[in-house]
């Protein structure tokens, strides 16, 4: 066992003495030492209950004969950080989380780990650490929040964000906005739709790193506690089996995850996180892989924000195992999972408990919601290295759009103009200098996209950015435009009223300006330099393009 480096032999008597200072007994010294990597914090509703989840994990570890040691990682709530400077720290926190986990696991020489995590950048940071350290690892994601209930219908956080624009346009009253504020987010868990947090939980399960059913088991459900306890028990067996993270996650595992992502209409942030996770597993996942698989993977379930179903509907329909059962002919079935069984065996053993709900919520590959997957990668003279859109959440009439550019050098500038009502039908809103380096930090922009939706413009106005979008964004919102403006990308050359052409079916995004004119603009181009200090200044120097997953180089 790795932990013998700290506890075995006469020379380790001082080490054992320090362990005994914490109550470790002689009999426990002979057992595997297992890290419980917990992202519990009082800042995030998706994490507020993870102290209890971790206790269940530790009970499972003890049941199976292991010794748990819990430590915590950091976390930023994207919803609370949305729309201000705090969002610049969200994506950069991913690598900081990964680093702290590596330091703890290597410094203390743990034999295995159970990762208790939730939410947008925290779960990717944990998965990246699993790939980097490569010891037995199993992930327990915290589970979705129940939907709110206002005006006799389910609601979620996006209902509040879109309510801001609706209130500003006079479509709803300030009293109604207050009701949404009070009732849409009703307790512990990650936001109730297929936004980034829940998408990444689904990706974790699809990669084989969580027990089946974990991703959609809700935060308040006893099922989550049972899965947590079973995960604690299972990690002890994985240590005996020598089943490490890299023996589970392969190139074919990532193909499975992407197909699940495309079938559920997941967040565009997966095009940042999955390549970054693959990188830490010693693998390469090019952005174009999403396009390649999207052409042959149907979109099977209409989840918020691209549909009317909530995560509770997905859970009742069977969750990730049910989607994988629909996709069985397209998946790599021989890949190993944390169960100690292959993907194919797990799917074969899965039982659909609610067949009518399953049929109502999840379509078949023969009659899908859309023939293609939820994500598309666009290229053209405006985005030579690529841009990303959640096409499953775009109205069919906006899959192709041509309009004049309305140019802003920050999210705040754009938001002010949107809320004043100065954006008109047909416009293409351009928000630049929000990329990984230019921001720095590549902010999510749910506020402007939701304001556009709330003001009734989501089916007539497009938005493009070198930043990124929340998983809660819907409509023709194209992010991750690469190269970004700060690095001299064409998005930095756009001028007010330039014509931009978007063609999602053909995977194109074009700036309708001659190459001669663009060369003139390049000759005098000087990027906007936004001040950055401390961690963000270091991040700007090291971060790569969004087309590479915004990894640290």
Question: Catalytic residue numbers?
Answer: 470
Cα 161 to Cα 245: distance, rounded to the nearest angstrom:
38
Cα 49–chain centre separation: 20
**235-270: b (≥16 Cβ within 10 Å) or e:** bbbbbeeebbbbebbbeebbbbbbbbbbbbbbbbbb
**Strand, coil or helix: 68:** strand
Per the CB < 8 A criterion, the answer to whether 266 and 257 are in contact is no
Residue of 437, 427, 550 lying closest to 496 (CA atoms):
427
Helix 157-169 with 411-419: angle, nearest 10 deg? 50
Burial 482-494 (b: 16+ CB within 10 A, else e): bbbbbbebbbbbb
DSSP 33: E
Residue 266, φ and ψ in degrees, nearest 5: -75, 175
| Strands 428-431, 400-408: pairing kind | parallel
> Are 298 and 239 within 8 A, CB to CB?
no
Q: Identify the helix (H) or strand (E) that includes residue 114.
A: strand 112-117
* Sign of the CA dihedral with 124 first, then 129, 135, and 139 last: negative
Q: What letter would DSSP give residue 547? A: G
Evaluate whether 159 touches 180 at the Cβ level (below 8 Å): yes
Cis status of the peptide bond prior to 440, with omega within 30 of 0: yes
Q: Which residues pair with 144 in a beta bridge?
A: 190
């Amino acid at each position: 066992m790795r932990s013998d480096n700290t506890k075995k032999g006469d020379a380790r008597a001082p080490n054992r003495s320090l362990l005994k200072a914490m109550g470790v007994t002689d009999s426990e010294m002979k057992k595997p030492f297992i890290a419980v990597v917990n992202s519990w914090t009082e800042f995030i509703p998706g994490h507020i209950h993870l102290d209890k989840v971790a206790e269940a994990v530790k009970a499972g570890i003890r049941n199976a004969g292991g010794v748990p040691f819990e430590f915590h990682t950091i976390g930023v709530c994207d919803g609370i950080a949305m729309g201000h400077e705090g969002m610049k720290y969200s994506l950069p926190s991913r690598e900081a989380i990964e680093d702290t986990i590596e330091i703890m696991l290597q410094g203390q020489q743990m034999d295995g780990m159970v990762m208790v995590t939730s939410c947008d950048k925290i779960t990717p940071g944990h998965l990246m650490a699993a790939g980097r350290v490569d010891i037995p690892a199993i992930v327990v994601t915290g589970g979705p929040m129940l939907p709110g209930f206002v005006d006799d219908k389910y609601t979620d956080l996006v209902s509040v964000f879109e309510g801001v624009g609706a209130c500003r346009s006079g479509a709803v009253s300030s009293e109604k906005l207050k009701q949404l504020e009070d009732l849409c987010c009703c307790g512990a868990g990650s936001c109730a739709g297929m936004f980034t947090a829940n998408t990444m939980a689904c990706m974790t399960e699809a990669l084989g790193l969580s027990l089946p059913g974990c991703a959609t088991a809700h935060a308040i459900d006893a099922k989550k506690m049972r899965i947590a306890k079973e995960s604690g028990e299972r990690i002890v067996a994985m240590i005996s089996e020598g089943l490490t993270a890299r023996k589970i996650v392969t190139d074919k595992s990532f193909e499975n995850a992407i197909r699940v992502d495309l079938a559920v209409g997941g967040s565009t942030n997966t095009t940042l996180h999955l390549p970054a996770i693959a990188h830490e597993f010693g693998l390469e996942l090019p952005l174009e892989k999403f396009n390649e698989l999207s052409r042959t993977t149907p979109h099977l379930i209409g989840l918020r924000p691209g549909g009317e179903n909530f995560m509770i509907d997905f859970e009742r329909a069977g969750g990730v195992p049910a989607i994988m059962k629909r996709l069985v002919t397209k998946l790599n079935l021989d890949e190993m999972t944390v169960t100690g069984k292959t993907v194919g065996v797990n799917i074969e053993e899965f039982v659909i408990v609610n067949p009518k709900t399953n049929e109502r919520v999840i379509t078949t590959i023969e009659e899908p919601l859309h023939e293609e997957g939820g994500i598309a990668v666009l290229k053209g003279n405006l985005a030579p290295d690529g841009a990303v859109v959640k096409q499953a959440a775009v109205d069919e009439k906006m899959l192709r759009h041509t309009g004049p550019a309305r140019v802003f050098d920050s999210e705040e500038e754009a938001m002010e103009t949107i809320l004043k009502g100065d954006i008109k039908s047909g416009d293409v809103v351009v928000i630049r200098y929000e990329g990984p380096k230019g921001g720095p930090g590549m902010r999510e922009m749910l506020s402007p996209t939701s304001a556009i939706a709330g003001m009734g413009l989501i089916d007539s106005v497009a938005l493009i950015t070198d930043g990124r979008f929340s998983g809660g964004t819907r409509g023709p919102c194209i992010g991750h435009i690469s190269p970004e403006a700060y690095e001299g990308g064409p998005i930095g050359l756009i001028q007010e009223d330039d014509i931009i052409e978007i063609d999602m079916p053909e995977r194109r995004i074009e700036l309708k300006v001659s190459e001669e004119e663009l060369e003139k603009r390049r000759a005098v181009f000087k990027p906007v330099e936004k001040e950055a200090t401390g961690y963000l200044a270091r991040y700007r120097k090291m971060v790569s393009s969004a087309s590479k997953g915004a990894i640290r180089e």
